[in-house]
Structure 1
Amino acid sequence: MTAPLRSAVAVGGAVAAGARAGDLLRRNPPGGADRWERTNHAGRPLTLLEGPTAALAVAVGCLAARPGRRAAGVLAAAGAAGLGALDDLVERPEDRSGGARGLRGHLAALQRGRLTTGAWKVLGIGATGLAAAAVADGPRTSGRGPARALDVLVGGALVAGAANLVNLFDLRPGRAAKVAAVAALSLSAGPGAADARPLAGAVAGACAVVLRDDLAGRSMLGDTGANALGAVLGVAALARWGRTGRAVALGAVVALTLASEKVSFSRLIEAQPLLRELDRLGRP
């Protein structure tokens, strides 16, 4: 299969799978519709079923990638979605009310001896990120010994960090899906992006499926969907860049994550006219 055909199949497969999954989940929501209902920032009801829809869509889209990237993409999507669902559905109210929010909040709770669902998610996505990085390149292309171990460590951190970063934008209708789609397009651009395009296409296709209802405020990605999209973007970054590029990308992800602990992304976006208009684009 040629590279352009792989990319087209990835987008089409994600769109088709997402449309079908969304229809099935709306008809038969696991555990009942009430289990997935939440209230958004404006106090209106919505559903988190968009999350598993996006996760299934992006995982199916990853099947069009080359074997090593394919396995890494599916593994990253499945692991991030499963652990995200744990946080979406099983999080204890006392953890959130007790300040266990964001990476720092969950790690602080862990230091106090309380293992929150968010901490489980952080640890679990870190583990699946490492596993995805280990299979993304394969031993023949990555070598062995300390260099191989370092590649897997950086790659795993990038996959896990990207999963967390996309989730940080899931605070307003359509925002996380827009960010994921723009990141996917950027990873697809320029020479040397052939291996990354099917994975990026899977993310773009999944975003296309869920964006309309997300923008309308009827649904949201939640941890399940946002983590899955971000994790596959991380695998696409591994396919796109070598060691230097991956290190730079990881540095950017870490910097944005740390910044989010100090500064509200929503306030920054509202303060910049262009970002504000792009953020609101498509909302009622």
Structure 2
Amino acid sequence: MRALVSGALAGALAASALRLLRDNPPGGSTTWDRTNHAGRTVTLLEGPAYAVGAAGATALLGAGPGPVVAAVASAGLGALDDLAGDSKSKGFKGHLGALARGEVTTGAVKILGLGLTGLVSAALIDLGSRSREPQRHGIPTGTRTVLDTVVGGAVVAGSANLLNLLDLRPGRALKATILLGALTARSPRSAAASGAATGAAVGLLGPDLSGEAMLGDTGANSAGALLGAALVQRTGRRGRWAALVVLTALTLASEKVSFTKVIESTPGLRELDAWGRR
């Protein structure tokens, strides 16, 4: 029930925010206009709208400061890349390679910033869970170690990056958010955060599928980080390590393999990816 309430609130907030932002775009509409893969002009205002809806519902439903920090800070880092980034360097390899040559790209700032955001988010989650756990001899029975928190932070940052890698076709990243959010919403500990991530995605799916708007780095990073925070909320040591292994493998694969080509050549995934798209 908590996930449903959080989702409904997030969806309403995100849809309303997008309407308001499109009526009064900060800096003018051209600041947020981009050309998508099909050559159409779309707005990136969907990203800030997603962050407003997801973070707002997460805060109002009492999911804790960790998920709120994940959603808001990652959105800010994504906005930096959306509004001030360039396309000279791409991917981890490109941005870190540029950094090694003394070039500080917005992508490198975002990579480092997401790492810090993930760590702070995971630390807040673990501190909060420690105060609620049953104790034995005055010590919480499920106490997390520093390494557990570091792994959790990597999961938050990796999830933010993964959702961004999927935001290449209308609706793709939002569909992934809805599916992953539904999987993590079954735990009471992560219901509010997962519901918010899912609801905001549902509220913005229409304009995204129609090719009017897109998440951009702002929305995709926010969605991924919030999902990562929800996963950290509901998992212990083994779950965090398993998630990190999967995220690392997918991130490394993205440097060599096109996710779009894999999706379009895989029955089932191809149809799901194309569903609802104009």
Residues 26-68 of structure 1: CA distance to partner in whole angstroms, max 9, x if unpaired? Answer: 11111100000000001111110000001111101212554xx
Counterpart residue number, 1:141: 130
- Three-state SS of the structure 1 residue aligned to 2:42 is strand
Decide whether the 8 Å contact of 1:180 with 1:229 is kept in 2.
yes
Give TM-score, length-normalised by structure 1. 0.91
CA distance in 2, matches of 1:240, 1:72: 13
Counterpart residue number, 1:180: 177
Residues 57-96 of structure 1 mapped to structure 2, 5 A cutoff: 57-66=53-62, 69-92=63-86, 96=87
Give TM-score, length-normalised by structure 2. 0.93
Residues 151-196 of structure 1: CA distance to partner in whole angstroms, max 9, x if unpaired? Answer: 221111000000000000000010000011101111124xxx1111
CA distance in 2, matches of 1:48, 1:247: 33
What runs of 5+ residues in structure 1 fail to find an aligned partner?
none
Counterpart residue number, 1:163: 160
Identity over aligned residues, as a percent?
51
Counterpart residue number, 1:126: 115
Decide whether the 8 Å contact of 1:57 with 1:206 is kept in 2.
yes
Report the number of matched residues.
269
Counterpart residue number, 1:203: 197
**Bigger CA drift: 117-126 or 131-140?**
131-140
Q: 1:254 aligns with which of 248, 263, 267?
A: 248
Counterpart residue number, 1:280: 274
Deviation at 1:9, TM superposition (A): 2.6
CA distance in 1, matches of 2:261, 2:21: 34
Decide whether the 8 Å contact of 2:78 with 2:221 is kept in 1.
yes
- Three-state SS of the structure 2 residue aligned to 1:138 is helix
Matched, 1:222 2:216: yes
Decide whether the 8 Å contact of 1:64 with 1:70 is kept in 2.
no
Amino acid at match of 2:26: P
What runs of 5+ residues in structure 2 fail to find an aligned partner?
132-138
Q: Which runs of 4+ in 1 moved over 3 A?
A: none
Change (3 A) 1:64 1:241: farther
Matched, 1:47 2:36: no
CA distance in 2, matches of 1:269, 1:139: 39
Residues 245-266 of structure 1: CA distance to partner in whole angstroms, max 9, x if unpaired? Answer: 1110111111111111110000
Q: 2:52 aligns with which of 42, 52, 56?
A: 56
CA distance in 2, matches of 1:280, 1:62: 30
